[in-house]
Amino acid sequence: MPLRRLRPRLAGMSDSGTNRRDPFSEKFKKFIVSGWAPYSSELPAELPSARWAAKRRAALLDELPGATIVVPAGPLKVRSNDTDYRFRPHTAFAYYTGLGEDREPDAALVITADESVLFFRPRAPRTDREFYADARYGEMWVGQRDSLEEMANAVGMECRDIRTLEDHLAGREGIVVIRDADPAVTEVVDRVRGGAREDADADFERRASSQRFRKDQYEVAEMERAVAATKVGFDAVIRELPNAVANGRGERWVEGIFALHARHLGNAVGYDTIAAGGDHANTLHWIVNDGELRDGDLLLLDAGVEVNSLYTADITRTLPIGGKFSDAQRRVYEAVRRAQQAGFDACRAGLPWKGVHEASVRVVAEFCAELGILPVSVEESLSEEGGQHRRWMVHGTSHHLGLDVHDCAHASREDYREGMLQPGMIITVEPGIYFKSTDLLVPEEYRGIGVRIEDDVLITDGDPVILSGSFPSAPDDVEEWMASLQA
């Protein structure tokens, strides 16, 4: 069959190593297939996400009428030798199938006006060698996987074996694929349609990314769950802070405590936790997390739980490790709060996306001017030719949030950065001020202070809804939060 020319996994040959002799005796092979209870005849219920996924597929087809749309889940990724990373499906696959967690490696969804079909590798019966000999797919190695019928019930779609994908696509018109999700599937698509059509594929990926701007009701509820789980993680970190200080390498302790709750309540962390004590907060993507936590310093904790449906929160709080802000820390913190409030005020449907950032950074620039460290006027700094304030906040204030922490990232600049806020969007508002310990322009008392406050905001027809509003934010409230949990 043509798929055999592809990677072995699509052709059902994953146990094809030739450097070893068959380690199973004939007697074992006879013995292993007998004495097992039959598979349960009970079929799984339809996933709550399934009907939402069906609506999303219909909306996508409205944009691409007549197309044959291929959305691969992606392959398992090798960590080393025969050890894979935990699987996470491509975001578009999760969105259009409603599948979450680690489902389903090597699968591909095909959407056409007539039908949607999910192709995946169904479990082989226990009489098959896969059962005991296949470390990637075998029940003895990775547990019992779905049959075609079981998966069909869960996703509310017809399901077929991935090894029939090429036959299904052959002769169809207008095939597009998410090119980088699974090279093996892209190879099938390119062969069937007689070459790469990179422009059409990129156009499809942009549309698929833009479709996720506005969250449906199911997605908003999942985001609320992600935020609630993240709150449990933050509370646990605060309770453990004295231990984190005492045990040494406190940043790792914090990372570990948060990860425990992320795995316990959800699927995983939605991105690598930033647990940054003191000056480490001024390294924006500090994920090394190997530093000490010291009384008198701040801890910048940027963390989010990804729930089983794969929606993630993205929240930052900057906490005084000893429970009380110093005067200098409080002044910086208050400025960031003001910047965030200005951002919130700009979170209204019909206003430009970039207005949130512009409102926030104006406050940052004004604060820097008040400190006397801005070498030009606020207006000049905020002009395109200026930008001097960015020395102290080099990142953007907002991004879309959802299945990906930086969601909708393939949308066009026109739709994203140059677009308007719309009801149903969920975005972060996360200004910060970062005074590195080595910054000689900054008054000494502020050096080594880094503050970011990040909340997750739902845009509505009226006032924005701060989904993470249960996280204390005013400095007095943060101190009280910490005192109440550490009492």
What does the binding site for ligand GLY look like in residue numbers (CB under 6 A)?
271, 302, 314, 399, 405, 430, 454
CB of 446 to ligand GLY, least distance (A): 23
Return the SS3 of 175: strand
**Nearer Cβ to Mn ion (87/271):** 271
> Pick from Mn ion, ligand GLY, none: which does 56 bind, CB < 5 to 8 A by kind?
none
Tell me how far apart the alpha carbons of residues 265 and 470 are, in angstroms, rounded to a whole number. Answer: 18
> Pick from Mn ion, ligand GLY, none: which does 271 bind, CB < 5 to 8 A by kind?
ligand GLY
CB of 346 to ligand GLY, least distance (A): 18
CB of 271 to ligand GLY, least distance (A): 5
CB of 373 to ligand GLY, least distance (A): 25
Q: How far is CA 187 from CA 2, 165, 305, 349, 399, in A?
A: 11, 12, 35, 42, 33
Structure tokens at 58: 């219909």
CB of 487 to ligand GLY, least distance (A): 30
The overall longest dimension of the chain from CA atoms, in Å, is: 85
Distant-in-sequence, close-in-space partners of 355: CB < 8 Å, separation ≥ 6 = 346, 421
**Nearer Cβ to Mn ion (150/314):** 314
Structure tokens at 83: 């050890």
**Nearer Cβ to ligand GLY (205/430):** 430
Binding region for Mn ion (CB under 5 A): 302, 314, 428, 454
Full 3-state SS string of 81-101: CCEECCCCCCHHHHHHHCCCC
CB of 430 to Mn ion, least distance (A): 5
Tell me how far apart the alpha carbons of residues 318 and 58 are, in angstroms, rounded to a whole number. Answer: 43
**Nearer Cβ to ligand GLY (193/280):** 280
> Pick from ligand GLY, Mn ion, none: which does 222 bind, CB < 5 to 8 A by kind?
none
**Nearer Cβ to ligand GLY (104/302):** 302
> Pick from Mn ion, ligand GLY, none: which does 336 bind, CB < 5 to 8 A by kind?
none
Q: How far is CA 117 from the centre of its chain?
A: 25
**Nearer Cβ to ligand GLY (162/393):** 393
Tell me how far apart the alpha carbons of residues 465 and 150 are, in angstroms, rounded to a whole number. Answer: 38
CB of 417 to ligand GLY, least distance (A): 15
Tell me how far apart the alpha carbons of residues 443 and 453 are, in angstroms, rounded to a whole number. Answer: 22
The count of other CB atoms within 10 Å of the CB of residue 203 is 15
Smallest Cα–Cα separation from 46: which of 205, 133, 152, 193?
Answer: 152
CB of 102 to Mn ion, least distance (A): 24
**Nearer Cβ to Mn ion (50/453):** 453
**Nearer Cβ to Mn ion (201/454):** 454
CB of 275 to ligand GLY, least distance (A): 12
CB of 435 to ligand GLY, least distance (A): 19
**Nearer Cβ to ligand GLY (137/392):** 392
CB contact at 8 A, 292 and 275: no
Residue length of the chain: 487
CB contact at 8 A, 214 and 423: yes
Residue showing the smallest CB distance to ligand GLY in the complex: 302
The count of other CB atoms within 10 Å of the CB of residue 410 is 20
Return the SS3 of 116: strand
**Nearer Cβ to Mn ion (97/428):** 428
Instruction: Tell me which long-range contacts 129-138 makes (C-beta under 8 A, separation of at least 24).
Output: 129/15, 129/29, 130/15, 131/32, 131/33, 132/24, 132/32, 133/15, 133/24, 134/14, 134/15, 135/82, 136/9, 136/14, 136/76, 136/84, 137/14
- At position 243, the amino acid (one-letter code) is N
